[in-house]
Amino acid sequence: MEETETGRRFDQLLEKNNLKKTQPRLSVLKVLASRKTATSQPALEEILGAEIDRVTLYRVLRTFEEKGIIHKVIDLNGTANYATCDESCTEHAHDDRHVHFNCTHCLHVYCLDSLHIPALTMPAGFTASQMNLIVYGICEECNEKER
């Protein structure tokens, strides 16, 4: 097993959540951590190829999401995209105040961690517990190419 910095970080992450360090789980973590945009299940499947069974991938993603290791962003087409969570995410307080950006050109989903969702006043009777703001538009890379 590799002894890299990130390798050890993944081990700790799994350990902390009472999950065994298995090859499929480490592969998924590696891919997600290496990408700056959220990744869809189909894309993960393509990247990981034969390395991991499709059913296992579904299960790994579900487990990770339940544990708060990753979070899901729904894109334009209703497809789930996954990204690793920052430290503040746990099983119970999750994914709060996140802003996401979905490029309508390359379809990538970015986590804009620097942007917070502004406070909102709910109509009488409604209690907010969580919110998700997704912005659609053209991302940096696609804007570059256009120039």
Q: Which residues face 40 on adjacent strands?
A: 81
Q: Does 130 bind a copy of itself (CB under 8 A)?
A: yes
Report if residue 49 touches a copy of itself, rule: CB under 8 A.
no
> Of 83, 71, 81, whose CA–CA distance to 130 is shortest?
71
Least Å distance, CB 104 to DNA, is 18
Q: Is 92 in the site for a copy of itself (CB under 8 A)?
A: no
Question: Do 28 and 56 meet the contact criterion of CB atoms below 8 Å apart?
Answer: no
Per-position x/- string for 10-49, each x denoting binding to DNA as judged by CB under 7 A, each - no binding: ----xx--xxxxxxxx---------------xx-------
Cβ neighbour number for residue 4 with a 10 Å cutoff? 10
Residue 37: is it exposed, middle or buried by C-beta count within 10 angstroms (0-12/13-18/19+)? buried
User: What order of strands is seen across the sheet that includes strand 109-111?
Assistant: 70-74, 80-84, 37-40, 109-111, 98-103
- C-beta of 66: minimal distance to DNA in Å? 11
Residue position matching structure tokens 């065994």: 20
Number of residues that bind DNA (CB under 7 A): 23
Q: What would the x/- binding string for DNA be over residues 87 to 126, using CB under 7 A?
A: ----------------------------------------
Q: Based on the shown chain and the rule CB under 7 A, indicate whether residue 136 belongs to the binding site for DNA.
A: no
- Judged by CB under 8 A, the number of residues near a copy of itself is 37
Task: Looking at residues 63 to 82 of the shown chain, list those that interact with DNA (rule: CB under 7 A).
Answer: 63, 80
